[in-house]
Amino acid sequence: MRRNKKENSEKVNKKIDNIYNFEGKKLDEDKNLEFYENSEGESKTFRKRHSKLKIIILSVISIIVILVLASYTTNQDFRNYIDLNILGKQVTENSLETIEINSDDNPTIFAYDSYIGVLSKNNLNLYNSNSTIISELDIDISTPIVETNEQFAVIAENGGNKFYVINNTEISWQGKVDGNIQKVNINQNGYVTIIVSNSTYVSIVILFNSDGTELFKTYLPTTYAMCADVSTDNSYLAIGEIDYSGTVLKSNVRVMDVSSAERVYDYSSDNNNIITNIKYYDKENAICTFTDSVVSVSQAEGKDIYTVTDDTCFLDARMSGYLSVLEKQSSGLFSYEYDLRFISLNSNTENLYILNNNLPSQVEVSGELIALNYGNEIDIVDSHGSLKKNYTSSQQIKDVVVGDSIVGVVYKDKIEIIGV
């Protein structure tokens, strides 16, 4: 009997403990739920505050970036500080790879693609950006005319009849013509145009394809051929010629079909507006530089691109897709600043590089690069109006040559190489 009572008492106590444990667990769960709800609310508040703070920080950063870019574009001093001190675009004399030359040999120095060429004593040495000779070529030319385009170069005897075509680092082919070579040109596909003169005709224009095959000759009995170029798809040959026979000078652009050698159309300029250069910038449109204007010529129309004024210091249409124009801007009484404009030939946009009061003594163009030689300093700028490199020297710079991705700074006894 006592054992039963004891067992019953233990059962009752166990039930009471279970009740207490259950209520305790329930109380703990309620507290945990309350804590979780409070924590979740605090977390949502924190996330909202964090999101607002993030937006504010991003807005401030965006404003700073916009202000910096605006100052970089319009403020020459600020841009110079950023370029030279932060972006590290400055290089100096005696810090670069060097090619030694002998000025007594009267070398002809040029650049194309990523190479520097030194022609002397019928020998052409081609150097890479590490100043290593990568090719030595026999070029029997004493008074050279050199024209380049991307990986091609044509070297001709000025007033002679021989010429060589270089493709990358090798002689692709060579040839001779009847008559005296006056000018040469090569397009980006290796098509060569040679302007010659002889005792019968004022000018003869000869066209060769990239294999060295002569395609045809164009004879000009009364007009002088000043320049020529082949379209980017090799379909058209444009010839710029001048007629001196009348009382006024007259320039004409003659466009011929390459496949048929037939004349397709002509463009005539205003009187006394002399053509100086032609360059195709696509398969149909040729940019024609005259003494008074720059015109884009096609079969459909002649479109004025730029009018030359007294403030025009330099213009060049050889840059890929752009007309580069250096202009003088008045900044006060007897003081001037200079702007370099890159006018797009494919859209109504242009890019700007400000030179302030510095006028370069030499300007050279190749591909998307332009080099401005100030005598003891060179700025290398791209078609976007951005400074790529600034080069400073303790001595007078004799010359600068520009390829698509390489620049050579020429002195009497050396060439310093700037890789771009």
46/50 Cα distance (integer angstroms): 6
* Burial class of 401 by CB neighbour count within 10 A (0 to 12, 13 to 18, 19+): buried
Residue 220, beta-bridge partner list:
203
pLDDT in tens, 186-231: 999 999 999 999 989 999 999 999 999 999 999 999 999 999 999 9
Model pLDDT, residue 41: 59
Given a cut of 50, is residue 300 above it in pLDDT? yes
Cβ(219)–Cβ(201) below 8 Å: yes
Mean pLDDT of the chain: 88
Residue 44's pLDDT band, with cuts at 50, 70 and 90, is low
Q: Where are the domains of the chain?
A: 2-74, 89-105+312-420
pLDDT band at 309 (very low <50, low <70, confident <90, very high): very high
What was the pLDDT predicted at 330?
76
For 112-121, the pLDDT digits (tens) are 999 999 999 9
Judge contact between 171 and 152, C-beta under 8 A: no
| Predicted pLDDT at 20 | 45
Average pLDDT over residues 291-315: 94
**Sheet strand arrangement including 236-243:** 223-230, 236-243, 250-257, 263-268
pTM above 0.85, yes or no: no
Which of 77-91, 235-249, 271-285 comes out lowest in average pLDDT? 77-91
CA distance 293 to 287: 11
Question: What confidence category does residue 57 fall into, taking pLDDT thresholds of 50, 70 and 90?
Answer: confident
Q: How many CB atoms sit inside 10 A of residue 119's CB? A: 22
pLDDT at 10 over 70: no
Which of 133-137, 258-262, 298-302 is predicted least confidently? 298-302
Question: Is the CB of residue 404 less than 8 Å from the CB of residue 88?
Answer: no
pLDDT for the residue numbered 92? 94
pLDDT for the residue 1: 44
What CA–CA distances, in Å, run from 160 to 19, 198, 378?
Answer: 118, 11, 35
